Structure formats: C-alpha cells, structure tokens
C-alpha cells in the first residue's frame, strides 16, 4: 500500500509539473490573445463567471463541453455584461450573442442559445466581439495543452 501511495504521489507531481510548464491557458481570436480560465467539467461550467464584479479586458472564460451539441447559456448571478461566442469542434465561430446583460433574476434569467452545434464557448467582456469585428467562421486558436476538438 505504501508503494502505491508513493507511486501516486510521484505521478501527481509529474502531472502538476507538466501543467506548470504549460503556463496560463490562452486563446487567440481575430489576432487578439486573451488569457482564459477553463471550465471543462460540469461543476466549473455551472459556476462560470457567477458573482464576479469585473474581468480584465484581455481575459475570458473558455467552456469546453464533452461533445458538440446545440448549447444555450444564461447569465444567472452574473454581474458583468458579456459576449457569448459559440465554436464548433473545428473551432469555427458558429454563433454569437453580443452584449448580453447581467441577470440577478435567478432561474428566471433568459437563455441565449447557439444557432448551430458547438463544443467550445468563449465568454468575453461585452463589446469585445464588436471591437474584433467577429463574423461566423472566425477560427479560435487554443494554447498548447487545451483540447483541440473531439
């Protein structure tokens, strides 16, 4: 049992070192780079950007889903206006919801659906999509270490 514990600890240390060397995750969109927090499991996707009072202009949150499907996001307990950008498995912009207002109405908050199946969702501060002049088909570039399609 002790050997198994040591092996587990060693593997965890190696994995953590690999993550540290990968650096802070980022995405690039229309030639602009954003550092991102990654939400790749149900709990992180459910929490999203709830209860945040601000986010730097060069930052965002990247949601990675388990499979490509029609998606809908809402702004429950979100305090900042956002652009919600939906990307397919090839990382092409398939839908965008711009300038989505904050919502404090709990479960009564409206949802903002994608117009096509998506695998990735990028949330940026409201106004970023207009500033970049985003159009459907724009490619999302992911930093090394992030899943590049499933």
**14-44: per-residue pLDDT in tens?**
344 344 445 899 999 999 999 999 999 999 9
pLDDT at 130 over 80: yes
Report pLDDT for 63.
97
Q: What are the angstrom distances between the C-alpha of 60 and each of 13, 18, 49, 55, 82? A: 28, 23, 9, 7, 9
**Mean pLDDT, all residues of the chain:** 87
The SS3 assignment for 124 reads strand
C-beta separation of 132 from 139 below 8 A: no
pLDDT digits (tens, 9 = 90+) for 59-80: 999 999 999 999 999 999 999 9
Residue 23's pLDDT is what? Answer: 87
Domains delineated in the chain: 24-142 (2.60.120.1140)
* Sign of the alpha-carbon dihedral angle for 140, 29, 133, 56: positive
The whole-angstrom separation of Cα 76 and Cα 57 is 21
β-strands 32-39, 59-69 pairing: parallel
pLDDT at 147: 79
């Amino acid at each position: 049992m002790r050997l198994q514990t040591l092996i587990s600890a060693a593997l965890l240390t190696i994995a953590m070192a690999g993550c540290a060397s990968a650096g802070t995750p980022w995405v690039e969109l229309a030639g602009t780079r954003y550092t991102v927090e990654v939400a790749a499991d149900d709990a992180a996707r459910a929490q999203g950007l709830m209860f945040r009072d601000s986010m730097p202009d060069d930052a965002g949150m990247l949601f990675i889903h388990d499979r490509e499907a029609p998606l809908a996001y809402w702004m429950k307990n979100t305090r900042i206006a956002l652009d919600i950008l939906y990307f397919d498995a090839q990382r092409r912009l398939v839908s965008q919801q711009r300038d989505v207002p904050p919502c404090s109405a709990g479960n009564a908050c409206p949802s903002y659906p994608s117009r096509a199946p998506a695998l990735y969702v990028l949330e940026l501060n409201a106004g970023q999509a207009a500033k970049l002049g985003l159009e459907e088909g724009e490619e999302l570039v992911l930093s090394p270490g992030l899943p590049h399609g499933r």
